[in-house]
Amino acid sequence: MGTDIRGPGACEHAYDRARLRQFLAGEAAGEGLSRRGVLRLLGAAAGLAAAGTGTGAGVAAAAGRPGIVKPLPAELFTVRDTNAETNWQALRGTGYHTPVDRFFVRNHTSTPVLDPARWRLTVWGGGLRGRAVEFSYDDLRSLPAVTSSAVLECAGNGRSYFATQQGDRVSGTPWTMGAVGAARWRGVRLADVLRAAGLSRRAVDVMPRGLDPRYTAGGTDYGRVRRPMPVAKALDDVLLAYEMNGLPLLPDHGRPVRLVVPSWVGIASVKWVGDIEVSDRPLFSPWNTVFYRLFGSAHPRGGSAPLTCQPVRSAFELAPGAEFAAGRRHRLTGRSWSGGGGVRRVEVSADDGASWREARLHDAPRPGGWVRWSVPWQPHEPGPARLMARATDTAGTVQPFRSVPNDQGFFFDAVVRHPVRVVRDP
């Protein structure tokens, strides 16, 4: 399953809080991003939320196409604007790693098709000892290669359940639970590239930026997709990946090179990376100020700290409305995962939570990974039923019955009520 290259303290909560304080104190810097500029963008994002649109619609979607290169057959994917959600029933029997033909795609705009031979990565900024340094694809391939299994997941995964399960009004792509996948990534450590570029002791933040088109929404141009992370995380377990499940990355997943930031919100794993700013000052972008924070009445005024580690979640490898014959013994399968550590326990209920049965785990708990599980089920009465799966991670966090709502619908972590039908045995 590859090396686990993750170190301690991966969630960087102290970093989150420090950046929030700095941001509120007006220390925002980076690509012309003044505090006033950010506040203007926050206003624009609030407008998007009110209009019920949000983080989705990009250039290609406006033309009625998702802007994704790989085939998106209806049995594997549900297309949502510029994005493609994996259908969970398509993961049944697929093994630990998600095959690339069914791995979800989350694009702010559209997939650029880049030629590895002409691609360059520029590492630059005041956190380096010297000038900007350029790497070619071959330069990266000549550095020591590392292989690591990691779950990649969108912070907005499960967003639609805020509305359908809780009656909350949120904006953004209405994912069910299929904006997640696990892959075996191969590439070089970001740490090795930063050191080769002359990382100095002054460096505090590292901001990769994608080569996809600029993201505009609601008349606001947010620029190229980019999001800073602290140097500590960048030097810990982050990869610059060029392979996924043993093959060169597909264009939709970041070809030729993308970041993989284990356990963190998917937006940190910038695809089609073209440059990385290494800064001696805190960096901010719309993706850690306007988006990917929690806003709303249940959160601090001005919003939460930028989101880092993903919450605990579970899903059945079943279509919504799947049918089961009454009186027979079935085997329910699913997966659970958490950015806060491995998953150590999964319970399943078929009677609205009145009783729970322990699922059998088929994988050891591992930070940055998921566990496959199964449980037998013998329904008796024909009619509608709701299945529930509840995971506990190694930090002791248990999935709640209700998620705390937020305007942009991030971090839905509640137990999902999965609708099925029990039918008469023919």
Residue 206 or 375 with smaller CB distance to ligand MTE: 206
What's the rounded Cα separation, in Å, for the pair 128 and 134? 13
Residue 257 or 332 with smaller CB distance to ligand MTE: 257
What's the rounded Cα separation, in Å, for the pair 426 and 420? 17
Nearest 5°: the CA angle 72, 75, 78 is 55
Q: What is the DSSP letter of 144?
A: P
What's the rounded Cα separation, in Å, for the pair 109 and 337? 28
Three-class secondary structure of residue 335 per DSSP: strand
User: Does residue 271 touch ligand MTE according to CB under 6 A?
Assistant: yes
**Contact indicator for 230, 205 with CB cutoff of 8 Å:** yes
**Contact indicator for 359, 374 with CB cutoff of 8 Å:** yes
Question: How many residues contact ligand MTE, by CB under 6 A?
Answer: 18
Among 19, 97, 233, 253, binds ligand MTE (CB under 6 A): 253
**Contact indicator for 287, 271 with CB cutoff of 8 Å:** no
Residue 137 or 377 with smaller CB distance to ligand MTE: 137
What residues contact 281, with CB distance under 8 A and at least 6 apart? 27, 29, 30, 126, 204, 205
The least distance separating ligand MTE from the CB of residue 106, rounded to whole angstroms, comes to: 4
Residue 215 or 324 with smaller CB distance to ligand MTE: 215
Residue 68 or 361 with smaller CB distance to ligand MTE: 68
Among 212, 275, 277, 413, binds ligand MTE (CB under 6 A): 212
User: Does residue 108 touch ligand MTE according to CB under 6 A?
Assistant: yes
Residue 37: Cβ-neighbour burial (10 angstroms; 0-12, 13-18, 19+): middle
What's the rounded Cα separation, in Å, for the pair 38 and 124? 23
Residue 119 or 324 with smaller CB distance to ligand MTE: 119
The least distance separating ligand MTE from the CB of residue 405, rounded to whole angstroms, comes to: 20
| Chain position whose Cβ is nearest to ligand MTE | 210
The least distance separating ligand MTE from the CB of residue 383, rounded to whole angstroms, comes to: 37
Q: Name the one range near ligand MTE by CB under 6 A: 263-271, 298-306, 355-363, 416-424.
A: 263-271
Q: Name the one range near ligand MTE by CB under 6 A: 28-36, 232-240, 268-276, 299-307.
A: 268-276
Q: Which of residues 141-160 bind ligand MTE (CB under 6 A)?
A: 152, 154
Residue 278: closest CA among 97, 127, 99, 77: 127
Among 80, 106, 293, 372, binds ligand MTE (CB under 6 A): 106
Q: Are strands 120-124 and 273-279 parallel, antiparallel or unpaired?
A: parallel
- Cα distances (Å, whole numbers) of residue 369 to 52, 101, 215, 375: 33, 20, 30, 20
The least distance separating ligand MTE from the CB of residue 157, rounded to whole angstroms, comes to: 8
Q: Name the one range near ligand MTE by CB under 6 A: 34-42, 101-109, 376-384, 403-411.
A: 101-109
- Cα distances (Å, whole numbers) of residue 90 to 126, 193, 234: 47, 37, 33
Residue 253 or 335 with smaller CB distance to ligand MTE: 253
**Contact indicator for 67, 107 with CB cutoff of 8 Å:** yes
User: Does residue 267 touch ligand MTE according to CB under 6 A?
Assistant: yes
Residue 105: strand pairing partners: 84
Q: Name the one range near ligand MTE by CB under 6 A: 2-10, 85-93, 103-111, 401-409.
A: 103-111
User: Does residue 272 touch ligand MTE according to CB under 6 A?
Assistant: yes
Helix (H) or strand (E) holding 36, with range, is: helix 35-51
Q: Name the one range near ligand MTE by CB under 6 A: 2-10, 116-124, 267-275, 277-285.
A: 267-275
User: Does residue 269 touch ligand MTE according to CB under 6 A?
Assistant: yes
Among 23, 77, 104, 284, binds ligand MTE (CB under 6 A): 104
The least distance separating ligand MTE from the CB of residue 118, rounded to whole angstroms, comes to: 18
Residue 132: Cβ-neighbour burial (10 angstroms; 0-12, 13-18, 19+): middle
Residue 22 or 78 with smaller CB distance to ligand MTE: 78
User: Does residue 184 touch ligand MTE according to CB under 6 A?
Assistant: no
Q: Name the one range near ligand MTE by CB under 6 A: 86-94, 104-112, 126-134, 367-375.
A: 104-112
| Interface residue list for ligand MTE (CB under 6 A) | 103-108, 152, 154, 210, 212, 225, 253, 266-267, 269-272
